[in-house]
Amino acid sequence: MRPTWAEINLETISKNTSIFCDLLDDSVALCAVVKADGYGHGAVEVAREVLASGATWLAVAFVEEAAVLRREGIEDPILILSEPRPNEMEEVVKLGGVRPAIYTRAGVEAFSSVAEEGAPVHLKVDTGMHRVGVRPNEIIDLADYVVELGIQLEGVFTHFALASTPKDPFNMSQIKLFDRVLEELSEAGHTPEIVHQANTAATLEWPETHHSMVRVGIGLYGTEPSKFFSERFKELGLKPAVWLRSEVSYLQTVESGEGVGYGHRWRANKNTRIATIPIGYADGIFRGWWDGGEVLIGGAHWPIRGVVTMDSLIAEVDDSIKVGDEVVLLGSQEDSFLAVSDVAEVLGTIGYEILTSLGARIPRRY
């Protein structure tokens, strides 16, 4: 077996969940977002842990993700964050306790045609993300249609576009617009039991957006939505739950002027000791990770040299490194640490992409 795996600390996820629960009033529920296989951590394992630690709802992106949880015996309420296609609505009903997001008349018709009277749905309103959702000026008509067709308007929600940049004034615009939508719904006789707006960033930054439920995803896994939140994470004690490791599989010395890897994107400027590590872009280690990226070996930071290949990468080391030495790509080793957010910054992306890109062929150990 290849000596490469991701170690998932479920106790850390439990502690992170408890920290978020402590930020909420007793009347506010925590919905744990476990889409994309629990942000690469394992949806089923994470779901069980967060539900035992204070979360009372789960959220996924697609029907098939909800089905996986149900097959594994998880019976708690599940919200599907995007509207299922009409031909998927029957499966949603059969899963039991799964609430679809709804934002079209076709969606209302499809769900009501296969669901029992009073089956709950959550209307999603587009307050500025402009991805999916009913427009604010159309939500009353859609809410009326939900009631007319005999299903229950249990929830209404929206999603922030810029919450990871809290100082952007557009956030306040979305908050105010959603508040106005709720007021107009109430005036039209619609008072959904569950109102949710806050993601991880908003849960930390704007208590007024907590309403009756918050949806926390990336924060449960101990990764900040952006560098803006790094200090807050430290203050609260939120910690990353994944530790990605491998081992040195081969060592050699290249001479000055020799190129390394495909395209010889890096050339040695002196005789250089290099180590091959059996993990590559097929495992979710981005090809461009080499440009400024590092690994930990023996508690020290070593630069990646040459582009990451499909199954391996190469790091510059010294004579102290031996075949079989542990290599850490995410997490801690002795007194050194490689954070998901640090890697994301090197790659010009976000922590979400790093975590959800970790490939299926990397075994998860819990």
Residue reference for tokens 């309403």:
211
CA distance linking residue 65 with residue 56, whole number of Å: 17
What span, in angstroms and rounded, lies between the C-alpha atoms of 209 and 196?
Answer: 8
Amino acid at 32: A
Catalytic member of 15, 35, 270, 281: 35
Cα 233 from chain centroid (whole Å): 16
What is the distance between the terminal CA atoms of the chain, rounded to a whole angstrom? Answer: 18
**Closest of 100, 75, 103, 77 to residue 90, by C-alpha:** 100
Q: Which two tokens stand for residue 48?
A: 């069980």
Q: State pTM to two decimals.
A: 0.96
- CA distances in angstroms from 69 to 59, 60, 183, 198, listed in the order given: 11, 10, 35, 23
Q: Compute the C-alpha angle 175/54/91, nearest 5°.
A: 75
Q: What confidence score (pLDDT) does residue 353 get?
A: 96
For position 61, what pLDDT does the model report?
98
User: For helices 139-148 and 105-114, what crossing angle results, to 10°?
Assistant: 20
Catalytic residue list contains 270: no
352 in active site:
no
* H-state helical runs in 222-284: 230-236
Domains and CATH numbers, the chain: 10-223 (3.20.20.10), 242-338 (2.40.37.10)
Q: Long-range contact list for 78-84, CB < 8 A, 24+ apart?
A: 79/31, 79/122, 79/155, 79/215, 81/33, 81/35, 81/124, 82/132, 83/107, 83/124, 83/132, 84/110
pLDDT of residue 148: 98
Question: DSSP H helical segments within 188-321, as ranges?
Answer: 200-205, 230-236
pLDDT at 180: 98
**Which residue intervals of 134-169 are DSSP H helices?**
139-148
Angle (CA) 53-55-60 rounded to 5° is 125
Rounded CA-CA distance 338/103 in Å is 41
Catalytic residue among 221, 262, 270, 366: 262
Which residues make beta-bridge pairs with 317? 273
The total of other beta-carbon atoms located within 10 Å of residue 172's CB is 11
pLDDT tens for the chain, 366 residues: list them.
Answer: 899 999 999 999 999 999 999 999 999 999 999 999 999 999 999 999 999 999 999 999 999 999 999 999 999 999 999 999 999 999 999 999 999 999 999 999 999 999 999 999 999 999 999 999 999 999 999 999 999 999 999 999 999 999 999 999 999 999 999 999 999 999 999 999 999 999 999 999 999 999 999 999 999 999 999 999 999 999 999 999 999 999 999 999 999 999 999 999 999 999 999 999 999 999 999 999 999 999 999 999 999 999 999 999 999 999 999 999 999 999 999 999 999 999 999 999 999 999 999 999 999 999
Pairing of β 5-8 and β 326-333? unpaired
Separation of alpha carbons 285 and 308, rounded Å: 7
pLDDT score for 74:
98
Where do we find the tokens 């959603």?
A: 178
- Residue reference for tokens 């991880």: 200
**The dihedral formed by the CA atoms of 279, 282, 288 and 291, expressed in degrees to the nearest 10:** 0
Handedness of CA 307, 308, 313, 315 (dihedral sign): positive
In the block, tokens 């960033």 appear at 201
pLDDT tens figures, 108-167: 999 999 999 999 999 999 999 999 999 999 999 999 999 999 999 999 999 999 999 999
117-121-126 Cα angle (round to 5): 145
Say if CB 213 and CB 57 are below 8 A apart: yes
Q: Is there a contact between 294 and 336 (Cβ–Cβ < 8 Å)? A: no
Residue 96 CB neighbour total at 10 angstroms: 10
